[in-house]
């Protein structure tokens, strides 16, 4: 008892020094500034989506639900959203299906293919998407012309540019979980490779799979350049938005509807992020290469 009383007495001023004074004020200031910087554009968009006209004043001249009603009931926008969600979902699904086995193989069976995978994962960032898109068009024109301009080719293109997000998240999760040792142990326990992957590997890297899936979903959902080249005549959310921006002069309220669509997009991604955060609670995951992988045995998960 005496010992703990002494520790408490000495610890108390320590804590006050850490949280009080100008340091604390500076932290709140920075936090407030960051929040302001992030939130003001969103709030402006939100207000705009309800504005009748917003010209000379700080706040709009009047408010209406017209843009929300018009947007939500517009079949073109509905179809753009369903196309984009389908596209992004397929992209994420394909990337997960391709990357998880590849990352597993490169860690557990053949370390030599790691270099190849890592270089490949950097390529989409070294080349502009337009270049990749034209390359894909050329290639499909030579190999499979019937796929030109189809949804499937766009899915393939998005899968190609979004897979590094999945790879980094999954590979980081594998490093954090020590997947090599775990799958060796599963094998020594008598598990077949399939049993090892299903019961040991996947449950311990699910945080990475979900995070990577979200990132690739978002990358595909917001992608514009490749969709414009490969997906001519298709309506995705970014393509529709671009059209709205161009048509400002001749369609009344197009910016307001754009604001509605922006908020809807935000809502979709925010909801997904919330799912990811919920799913990953406590699980350590490394999203980017170079960021420190944390040892799962050291975290306090529960």
List interacting residues with other proteins (CB under 8 A).
177-178, 181-182, 184-192, 195, 199-200, 203-204, 296-297, 299-302
Cα gap 88→163, rounded to integer Å: 12
Using the minimum distance from each CB to other proteins, give the nearer residue, 146 or 297: 297
User: CB of 113: closest distance to other proteins in angstroms?
Assistant: 18
Using the minimum distance from each CB to other proteins, give the nearer residue, 175 or 263: 175
User: CB of 172: closest distance to other proteins in angstroms?
Assistant: 16
User: CB of 196: closest distance to other proteins in angstroms?
Assistant: 8
Q: Which residues contact 67 (CB under 8 A, 6 or more apart)?
A: 49, 50, 253, 256, 257, 259, 260
Using the minimum distance from each CB to other proteins, give the nearer residue, 149 or 178: 178
Q: How many CB atoms lie within 10 A of CB 64?
A: 16
User: CB of 167: closest distance to other proteins in angstroms?
Assistant: 22
Using the minimum distance from each CB to other proteins, give the nearer residue, 83 or 284: 284
User: CB of 98: closest distance to other proteins in angstroms?
Assistant: 24
Using the minimum distance from each CB to other proteins, give the nearer residue, 4 or 297: 297
Length of the chain: 302
């Amino acid at each position: 008892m005496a010992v703990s009383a002494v520790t408490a007495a000495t610890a108390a001023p320590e804590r006050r020094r850490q949280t009080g004074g100008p340091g604390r004020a500076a932290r709140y200031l920075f936090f407030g500034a960051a929040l302001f910087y992030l939130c003001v554009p969103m709030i402006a968009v939100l207000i705009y989506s309800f504005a009748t006209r917003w010209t000379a004043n700080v706040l709009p001249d009047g408010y209406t639900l017209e843009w929300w009603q018009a947007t939500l009931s517009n079949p073109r926008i509905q179809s753009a959203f369903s196309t984009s969600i389908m596209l992004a979902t397929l992209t994420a699904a394909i990337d997960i299906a391709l990357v998880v086995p590849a990352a597993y193989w490169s860690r557990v069976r053949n370390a030599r293919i790691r270099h190849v995978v890592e270089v490949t994962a950097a390529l989409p960032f070294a080349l502009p998407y337009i270049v990749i898109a034209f390359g894909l068009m050329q290639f499909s024109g030579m190999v499979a012309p019937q796929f030109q301009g189809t949804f499937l080719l766009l899915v393939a293109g998005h899968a190609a540019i979004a897979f590094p997000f999945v790879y980094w998240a999954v590979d980081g999760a594998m490093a954090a979980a020590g997947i090599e040792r775990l799958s060796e142990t599963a094998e020594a326990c008598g598990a077949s490779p399939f049993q090892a992957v299903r019961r040991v590997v996947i449950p311990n890297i699910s945080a990475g799979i979900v995070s990577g899936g979200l990132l690739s979903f978002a990358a595909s959902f917001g992608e514009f350049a490749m969709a414009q080249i490969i997906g001519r005549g298709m309506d995705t959310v970014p393509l529709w938005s671009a059209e709205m921006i161009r048509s400002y002069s001749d369609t009344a309220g197009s910016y307001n509807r754009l604001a509605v669509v922006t908020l809807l997009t935000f809502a979709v991604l925010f909801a997904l992020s919330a799912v990811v955060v919920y799913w990953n609670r406590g699980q350590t995951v490394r999203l980017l290469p170079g960021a420190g992988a944390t040892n799962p045995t050291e975290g306090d998960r529960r």
